[in-house]
Amino acid sequence: MTTPDTSRSGRRLLRVYSIATFLCMTIALSCIVGLGAWGAVRDLRRGRESLLQAEIAEANSHSERTVRRIERDLVEGKIAPDFSDLRSQGWLTSHWKSDIVAEAEWAYAAVEDGSHHLVAHSMPSLAGGRLPSDWYQRRVSVAGSDVVETNLTALTGGLPAFDVRLPITFNGRTVGVYHCGLSHDWFNATATADEEFALFGWLVVVGGAALVVLLAIGSLYVITRQAAALQRGLDLADMRRMTELSQLIIGLAHEVRNPLNAIRLNLHAIGRVHRGEARLPDEELNAIVRESVWEIGRVSALIGEMLGYARSEPPRAEDVDLNAEVRGALDLVKHVMEDQHVAVVARMGGETRLVRIDRARLRQILLNLLNNAREAVGKGGRIEIDVHRAGRSIELVVSDNGPGVPVAHRRRIFEPFYSTKELGIGLGLALVKKFVDECGGSITYEGGESSRGRFVVRFPEVRAAAIPEVFHDSPV
């Protein structure tokens, strides 16, 4: 049996393990969210950088083709080395409109001569301007050494852009610079759309992992609650067992004391006669011996009842015909009933009434109820037994015409060691209730204010086919 200290230790360990597990789950959830956030930020930053690098690479490809064409025209003399006729030819504007402007990401294209003048521009109104020394804000190192970020009005029209620069060479020297601009606004819009898609993917992954952890935490909470409820149930069961054990000890001490005192006095009297200190007639000595034997039998019966109530051996459940067991119990008490002129009427019918229960315990239930009724009615009384089906249960009703149990005592009649009889020890009905509960049944007492009480026992029914009637209802 679990001691109070062991029970408290078990509850404490359960609480500690539950808290530790919840902490681990919470840490795991925090790690998942934290790693997901770190991975999302890192992925978004890399995605933006990769997009910029890809667009700058495409801008470089456009710029290289344009620069090669300009350099070829310089060699062929179609363009003057100082680019003085490049603006008048309108070549850059037509090239921009026909080959590049259809792509929304490109902001502008321009040719800068050796003195930092814009000799040609895809927007004709900006041609002729000059680039100051601080014409860009910063270098964009992730995109390349020749990529800068600028919003110079003379070059971009005031719109922010990433500027890609390539030198123009002629006769082995640099005579100008070609500028190609990637729209900063377009890049931000495109990158933001890509980031939203990537962020949605991260949210799905992190949310799914977090949901799994939350479900695990929820399951753990339910398991912990069930474990706590089970622990409380075990504690209550232990308390009940301790209470029953205390009641057994107190009841045993109370019930055994009187028989032992009687036996001790009788042995003392016999001892005095044996030592010659007193003389008693043979009939009185025989009465003393008979009384002692009767008291020993009473103690033995008492211990047997207590052992029957206290033992925790599991019952051997089997399908038993309740009608046949009632008839068998009536055969056992037949002579006692006849000696006290008690009439017993049984109404069972011929149909098999199968219940699942330990056969020996069912027999003890029946005998206890019959003996309890016999003691209640006294000589010349009447006991009635009914067995019938009630829904999915089989009801056994034992009623008598005795005085019944007073209303004030009814709620306690199934408690161990509680009895309204002068010589009763209060274990008979407690045993009946214990055995009925073990098989999944129930027992109640029903009666008027002062007479005709009856015990109603309900057993779960086991369905079976009817068998021919062997016994007929008749008074015993």
**Are 453 and 402 contacting, i.e. CB atoms less than 8 angstroms apart?**
yes
Task: Check residues 290 and 174 and name the one with the higher pLDDT.
Answer: 174
Q: What is the value of pTM for the model shown?
A: 0.46
pLDDT tier for residue 467 given thresholds of 50, 70 and 90: very low
pLDDT interval class at 417 (50, 70, 90): low
- In our burial notation (b when 16+ CB lie closer than 10 A, e otherwise), range 38-61 reads eebeeebeebbeeebeebbebbbe
Q: Given phi > 0 = left and psi -120 to 50 = alpha, else beta, which region is 426?
A: left
Which of 46-50, 93-97, 220-224, 239-243 is modeled with the greatest confidence?
A: 46-50
Which pLDDT does position 303 carry in this prediction?
Answer: 72
| Percentage of the chain exceeding pLDDT 90 | 16
Strands 118-121 and 147-150: unpaired
For range 180-190, the mean pLDDT: 92
Chain center to CA of 219: 4
User: 318-462: what CATH class?
Assistant: alpha beta
Mean of pLDDT values over 258-272: 82
Confidence tier at 468 by pLDDT (50, 70, 90):
very low
CA 105, CA 12: separation in Å to the nearest integer?
Answer: 67
Q: Is 475 exposed, middle or buried (0-12, 13-18, 19+ CB in 10 A)?
A: exposed
The answer to whether 405 touches 426, Cβ cutoff 8 Å, is no
What confidence tier does 142 reach under pLDDT thresholds 50, 70, 90? confident
Mean pLDDT of 231-256: 71
Q: Where are the domains of the chain?
A: 4-191, 318-462
Average pLDDT along the chain: 81
Split at pLDDT 50, 70, 90, the class of 189 is: very high
Torsional sign, CA 432, 438, 439, 442: positive
pLDDT in tens, 375-397: 888 888 899 999 998 888 899 99
Residue 130 is classified by DSSP as B
pLDDT at 237: 74
Structure tokens at 220: 């753990």
Residue 208 phi/psi, 5-degree rounding, is -65, -45
Please report the pLDDT score of residue 458 as a whole number.
Answer: 92
Predicted confidence (pLDDT) per residue in 274-310, tens digit: 888 888 888 888 888 888 887 787 677 667 666 665 5
Q: What is the pLDDT of residue 472?
A: 42
Structure tokens at 355: 């219940």
Task: Find all residues with CB under 8 Å of 376, minimum gap 6, and list them.
Answer: 400, 402, 403, 404, 453
Q: Examine domains 4-191 and 318-462 and report if their fold is the same.
A: no
The answer to whether residue 457 scores a pLDDT higher than 90 is: yes
- 4-191 CATH fold: Beta-Lactamase (3.30.450)
Helix (H, G, I), strand (E, B) or coil at 322: helix
Backbone torsion region of residue 434, taken as left when φ is above 0, otherwise alpha when ψ lies between -120 and 50, otherwise beta: alpha
Average of pLDDT values for 87-115?
72
Residue 383 CA to its chain's centroid (Å): 52
**Ranges 160-169, 308-317, 388-397, 432-441: which has the least confidence:** 308-317
User: Is residue 318 over pLDDT 60?
Assistant: yes
Question: Which of 122-131, 328-337, 442-451 has the weakest average pLDDT?
Answer: 442-451
Least confident of 7-21, 68-82, 224-238, 441-455: 7-21
